[in-house]
Amino acid sequence: MTKCVLFVCLGNICRSPTAEAVMRHIISQAGTTSQWLVDSCGTAGYHLGGAPDERAQAELAKHGITTMHRGRQLCKDDFKKFDYIFGMDEENFRNIKSLAPADNRAVLGLLGEYDKQGGKIIDDPYYGGEADFEEVYQKCLRCCQEFYRQASRDN
C-alpha cells in the first residue's frame, strides 16, 4: 500500500520543500519510490507556483539533491489524500489542525518529533542566512530518516 506524507510550513519555499526533497532522496536511495507519495505545501499562499527559495535549493544541491517542487497551499482534500501531515513549527501545526475536517484520519504532527537529537521545532530560516538553511537541511535529514525507518517498520 502506498504511504502518503505531506510536509507543511508557512510559505512552502524553505522548510517543507527541503523536507520533501530529502524524503524523496531517502526513498529513492532505498529503492522504495513506488511505495510512497511525497509532497509539500504552505499554510499561506504567498508563493503559489513559485520555485523553492534559492538558498534552500543551494543547500540541497550541496548534498546532490534537486527539487522540481512548485509552491502550493494546504487544502481540505489533503486530509483525505495523505496518511501523515507534518508541520514544522507550532504555528503551522495550529493552522493544520484548524483546517482538518472533523472526521480527519491523517496523522497530524511536527516533523521535529522524529529528531533523536531533540528539539521539536524546525525554525523558519527565511530571514536568516546560510547556516540557518544548513540547520534546516540537517534537521529534516535526521527526522526524515527516522520517520522513514518507523513508517517502514510499521508496515
Task: Report, as residue numbers or ranges, the catalytic residues.
Answer: 9, 15, 124
Give 14 or 22: the residue with its C-beta nearer to ligand 4NP. Answer: 14
Give 35 or 95: the residue with its C-beta nearer to ligand 4NP. Answer: 95
Contact 7, 122 (CB under 8 A): no
- Residue from the set 12, 40, 57, 67 that interacts with ligand 4NP by CB under 6 A: 12
- Residue from the set 29, 30, 32, 46 that interacts with ligand 4NP by CB under 6 A: 46
Distance separating alpha carbons of residues 67 and 104, to the nearest angstrom: 29
Positive or negative torsion for Cα 121, 14, 92, 41: negative
- Residue from the set 11, 19, 41, 85 that interacts with ligand 4NP by CB under 6 A: 11
How is 29-82 classified by DSSP, letter by letter?
Answer: HHT-GGGEEEEEEESS-TTTTPPPPHHHHHHHHHTT--------B--TTHHHH-
Give 3 or 13: the residue with its C-beta nearer to ligand 4NP. Answer: 13
Torsion angle defined by CA atoms of residues 15, 17, 22 and 25, in that order, rounded to the nearest 10 degrees:
180
- Residue from the set 14, 26, 85, 141 that interacts with ligand 4NP by CB under 6 A: 14
The x, y and z cell numbers of residue 2, run together, are 502506498
Positive or negative torsion for Cα 2, 38, 117, 92: negative
Q: How far is the CB of 72 from ligand 4NP (least distance, A)?
A: 12
Taking CB under 6 A as the criterion, which residues in 93-132 touch ligand 4NP?
124, 126
Give 73 or 104: the residue with its C-beta nearer to ligand 4NP. Answer: 73
Contact residues for ligand 4NP, defined by CB under 6 A: 9-15, 46, 124, 126
